[in-house]
Amino acid sequence: MSEERPGKRRGARTPRAGGPARGTTRPRQATRPNPAEAGLDPARVAARDVLRAVRERDAYANLVLPAMLRDRRLGERDAALATELAYGASRARGLLDAVIAHAASRPVEEIDGPLLDVLRLGAYQLLRTRIAPHAAVATSVDMVRAEAGPGKSGFVNAVLRRVSERTENDWVAALAPSVERDPVGHAAFRHAHPRWIAQAFHDALGADAGELDDLLAADDARPAVHLVARPGEISAEELALVTGGEVGPWSPYAVHLDGGDPGRLDAVRDGLAGVQDEGSQLVARALVEAPLEGPDGGRWLDLCAGPGGKAALLGALAAVDGATVDAVEPSEHRADLVRSSTRDLPVTVHTVDGRSSGLAPGYDRVLVDAPCTGLGALRRRPEARWRRQPDDVAALVSLQRELLAAAVRLVRPGGVVVYATCSPHLSETVGVVGDAVRRHGLIGLDTGDAVPGVPRSARPTPGRDGNAGTHVQLWPHRHGTDAMFLAALRRPGGAG
């Protein structure tokens, strides 16, 4: 699922940004800096502590860092540097580890964890920032000396000096797989992605696989902040005016910002807007725009609602159209986030498993924004690419099929189901949709028609007797969005 942080409704408490993935626990907040480290650069100490929390506790960098910046009261400049270093080093970990291992003449698994955190931070500064090499090395050595003494600081000094002897391009040329023999592996190394993920992207691009390098480069870059203007509250044009942003190209509710903390914006604090990738906005719009057979009775369902971004947008659209939304989320914590983000909207939240919700059938529109590997949102979740494994896919595909089957049981004849994932992996996308078409006799719609104006996105979906229609696959390098997949399907049997 895509990373979303809905704004609160007026008078509602603000939900935490980007909740943990389904089935995980919330990471603890990182600790305060060691008093012995007084006098060290606070931005680099904060970035190191984020890397440590990710390594030691499987924490989420995008949750740990904002809380740490507030707790330590870093100024705007230090906060910006800490953010760049923490997120950048998390994204580039595979590339950095290969360089560190070569420079240290030992696998990174044999390097003490606290030293490895500092080495990653220093190597990132040397290879991917304009920070002067002597400053990157000296500040890293100082951190280790303050915590572990001169012996280990000497090791860090020696390794980082070897790293500094080459540019990133030189290290890629020396260590990456041959571009002639393994072009996918070479692109994966250059753009700091596990090879299996690069291969999944390559396969999903299909005939456009020549765009893989551009895709991985876009996925490795810092993303812009996307806001969603709440329908009925503010227009995208008005939101752009009050925030200094630009209206997004695809969603009628989207505004793009270059950066900054959106939580400080009045429009977000007042519930006029939320933080949501433009691709996720298009998923909600597709559900509302997909053509039904028969009239729309205004009974809509979000079967996988947490953390609540799409439910909030659907609720706002439902309020305008006189519809209602049921939102299903099995996790109590995430269900509370949905309740906060949809307060004062015609949304009822049910803390149940979507596969056996107990809800009465007959919905006109059902959204299945299924739990997935999240490969399409890696640019917004800096450490996720190194956390996911190929073995994760099979269990998720089984869950996705079960949720889509539940949606088919709940939608009325002639009603629409929109299946979406924040992953382009073929097993999670066209594989699941094709299976549903065959098993349940669904009719595929031309999904691109539900998101008009989005170029080069709709493609045929494999299915029985040509009934699978077309799906939409969004890409960071083409559309500036997360790599969202969506397919609109209709249950046959409705009145014309």
Q: Which residues are catalytic?
A: 422
Does 307 belong to an annotated binding site?
Answer: yes
SS3 for 391? coil
Does 354 belong to an annotated binding site?
Answer: no
Does 372 belong to an annotated binding site?
Answer: no
Query: Within 13 Å of residue 165, how many CA atoms lie on the same side as its CB?
Result: 12
CB 487 within 8 A of CB 433: yes
Q: Which two tokens stand for residue 426?
A: 């073929």
Q: Which of 185, 194, 100, 188 is nearest to 140 (CA)?
A: 100
CB 189 within 8 A of CB 176: yes
CA distances to 114, 289, 290, 345, 368 from 418, in Å = 45, 10, 8, 21, 6
Does 8 belong to an annotated binding site?
Answer: no
Q: Which two tokens stand for residue 112?
A: 């003490």
Does 107 belong to an annotated binding site?
Answer: no
- Provide long-range contacts, Cβ within 8 A and 24+ apart, for 19-25: 19/306, 19/307, 19/333, 19/334, 19/337, 20/60, 20/63, 21/371, 21/374, 22/306, 22/330, 22/331, 22/334, 22/371, 23/371
Q: Which two tokens stand for residue 230?
A: 């709440």
Distance separating alpha carbons of residues 396 and 45, to the nearest angstrom? 37
Whether cis (ω within 30° of 0) applies to the bond prior to 194 is no
Could you list the residues known to form a binding site for S-adenosyl-L-methionine, using ranges.
304-310, 329, 353, 369
Binding-site residues: 304-310, 329, 353, 369
